[in-house]
Amino acid sequence: MWERLLPPIQNAVITAAKANGAVLAITGSMYAYGPQPGGVMNEYTLMAATGPKGRLRKRLWEQALSAGVHTVEVRGSDYIGRDSNGLYSIIIEPAMKAGRAAWVPADLDAPHTFTFNGDMAQALVTLGNDERAWGQAWHVPSPPAISIRELARRYAAAAGRPPVKLIPMPRAAMRTAGLFMPSAREMAEMDYQWYSPFLMDASKTADTFGLTATDLDIIINNQVSAAEA
């Protein structure tokens, strides 16, 4: 689906940017890097993805750079925050409200960087309007990495509910399901992000533009309050 939908969308926005003399500010991800030693990625990490989605993100960024417009890509990790479609809304919240266990396709104790969607928006606005950012990819300053187990505990505490029982799903399970289910196959392609440390370093962005991450507990409390309103 990505291969069918994303290239024409990017072609359209590049055309619009050229016609209006606008800066092309792209919301990026960690996909283009592929698995990295120790799971650490900073703004100098080479794009070495081997899977289809990662290779596509690499190709789209290279296309934007050569399109003849001022462009910047701002890359974030998995989103948390109000209206984000991620770990909390898909897995933790439904289990917490139903008082049941949650099956999680991940190592529950591996450290993982999560990016606040509000910090992504702020970074896009700031970097898109700063010539120093153009022609480069930058990372969104994000809270310190945290395990899924600890993240779920904090969500439950913010909601005033008992901790959700988390059951780790064997890595092979999703890969086996992918033989029959396209959605599972898509998830299995990126499962390296969840079964080992996945650490995004945004020091270059923070040092250059003075951006900082929103406190994790503020993000969680606001997201839980919005979800239960």
Which residue range is the domain that position 98 belongs to?
A: 2-228
d(CA 29, CA 37): 18
What does the pLDDT read at residue 74?
Answer: 98
Mean pLDDT to the nearest integer, 111-125: 98
Count the domains in the chain.
Answer: 1
d(CA 54, CA 33): 7
d(CA 36, CA 30): 11
State pTM to two decimals: 0.93
For residue 137, the SS3 value is strand
Quickly state the pLDDT bin for 15 (edges 50, 70, 90): very high
What does the pLDDT read at residue 49?
Answer: 94
What does the pLDDT read at residue 21?
Answer: 95
Question: Do the beta carbons of residue 61 and residue 9 sit within 8 Å?
Answer: no
Quickly state the pLDDT bin for 224 (edges 50, 70, 90): very high
Closest-CA residue to 136 (of 200, 44, 10): 44
The DSSP bridge partners found for residue 116 are: 80
* Residue 93, domain CATH: 3.40.50.720
For 55-73, what is each residue's pLDDT tens digit? 999 999 999 999 999 999 9
Q: Which two tokens stand for residue 28?
A: 């990026």
For 120-160, what is each residue's pLDDT tens digit? 999 999 999 999 999 999 999 999 999 999 999 999 999 99
Percent of the chain predicted with pLDDT > 70: 93
Give, as one character, the DSSP assignment of residue 146: B
Closest-CA residue to 210 (of 142, 141, 144): 141
